[in-house]
Amino acid sequence: MYQVPNYTQNVSMKLSEVLADIGVDERIVMKRRRTFLLIEVIENINYQLIDGSFITYFFGSQSEGTTTIGIHSDTDRLICTKLLPVIQDWSDWVPGVLNLLMIQDNYVSPGYCLLQSLRPDAPLPENGESGQFFFKDRTGKLLLKNSILSWAIGGHKEIHGPAYAQHGQPGFMDVDKVLALHCTTWPQQARQWLLQQGEGQWPSAEMKQYCSRTGCFVVGVGCKGSEHEQLEWRISTSLAERCLMFNLNITQIRCYVLMKMIIKSLINPFFPDVISSYMCKTVLFHCISNTHSNIWRENNLLTCLSLCLYLLYNNIINENCPHFMIPENNLMRGKISSAFKPYILEILNNVINSEGVALLGIKCDDLGSRVHHKFYNLSLYKASDFILPALLVNIAVFTSETLKYTYDDILDSSPYEAVEILKNFVSKTFNSQYEGLDKAASLVLLPWYCTTLGSVLASLNIHQYNNVSADALKLISLGLNSDVASSRLKLASILYCVREVQKTDLILSEIEKRYDLQIVEPVCQCNPFVRKTIRDEFKELCDNHNETALQYITASCVKFMPCEIHCVPTELKYEMNRSTKEDRVFRTKRDNDWMDCAVVDSLPYLYFLQYKVYSHLGRHDQKQAALFKLTRTIKEEPNLGHRETALNLLGKCMEQEGRAGEALQCYWMSLNVRGRNNAAKIHINALLSV
SS3 track for 566-605: HHCCHHHHHHHHCCCHHHHCCCCCCHHHCCCCEEECHHHH
495 within some domain: yes
pLDDT value for 83: 87
115 within some domain: yes
Query: Highest mean pLDDT range out of 196-210, 273-287, 537-551?
Result: 273-287
pLDDT per residue over 30-81, tens digit each?
999 999 999 999 999 988 888 888 899 999 999 999 999 999 888 889 999 8
Task: State the pLDDT confidence band at 2, using cuts at 50, 70 and 90.
Answer: very low
**Which residue blocks in 470-619 are alpha helix, DSSP H?**
470-478, 486-497, 501-514, 536-542, 550-553, 570-573, 581-584, 602-617
Arithmetic mean of pLDDT over the chain:
91
Would the pLDDT of 166 be above 50?
A: no
With a pLDDT cut of 90, the percent of the chain lying above it is 74
Which range among 165-169, 256-260, 525-529 shows the weakest confidence by mean pLDDT? Answer: 165-169
Of 223, 247, 271, which closes a domain? 247
With a pLDDT cut of 70, the percent of the chain lying above it is 95
- Identify the three-state secondary structure at position 232: coil
Residue 300 DSSP code = G
409 within some domain: no
Q: What average pLDDT does the segment 621-643 reach? A: 97
Of 198, 217, 247, which closes a domain? 247
Task: State the pLDDT confidence band at 572, using cuts at 50, 70 and 90.
Answer: very high
Distances (CA, A) of 298 to 10, 248, 253, 631: 10, 13, 11, 54
Of 226, 247, 268, which closes a domain? 247
Would you put residue 443 in left (φ > 0), alpha (ψ -120 to 50) or beta?
alpha
Count helices and strands in the chain by DSSP H and E runs: 26, 15
What distance in Å separates the CA atoms of residue 47 and residue 540, rounded to the nearest whole number? 34
Neighbours of 397 (CB within 10 A): 21
What distance in Å separates the CA atoms of residue 277 and residue 273, rounded to the nearest whole number? 10
What distance in Å separates the CA atoms of residue 482 and residue 550, rounded to the nearest whole number? 8
Of 29, 148, 149, 158, nearest to 78 (Cα)?
149
What distance in Å separates the CA atoms of residue 10 and residue 377, rounded to the nearest whole number? 13
Burial 323-340 (b: 16+ CB within 10 A, else e): bbbbbebbbbbebbeeee
Residue 229 is part of which domain span? 73-247
601 within some domain: yes
**Which residue blocks in 339-383 are alpha helix, DSSP H?**
341-353, 367-375
Residue type at position 73: S
Cβ partners under 8 Å of residue 212, min gap 6? 186, 194, 240
Would you put residue 93 in left (φ > 0), alpha (ψ -120 to 50) or beta?
beta
Is there a contact between 606 and 626 (Cβ–Cβ < 8 Å)? no
433 within some domain: no
632 within some domain: yes
444 within some domain: no
Number of domains in the chain: 2
Cβ partners under 8 Å of residue 70, min gap 6? 22, 261, 364, 365, 366, 367
211 phi and psi, to 5 degrees?
A: -55, -40
What distance in Å separates the CA atoms of residue 150 and residue 250, rounded to the nearest whole number? 38
663 within some domain: yes
185 phi and psi, to 5 degrees?
A: -110, 155
Residue type at position 513: K
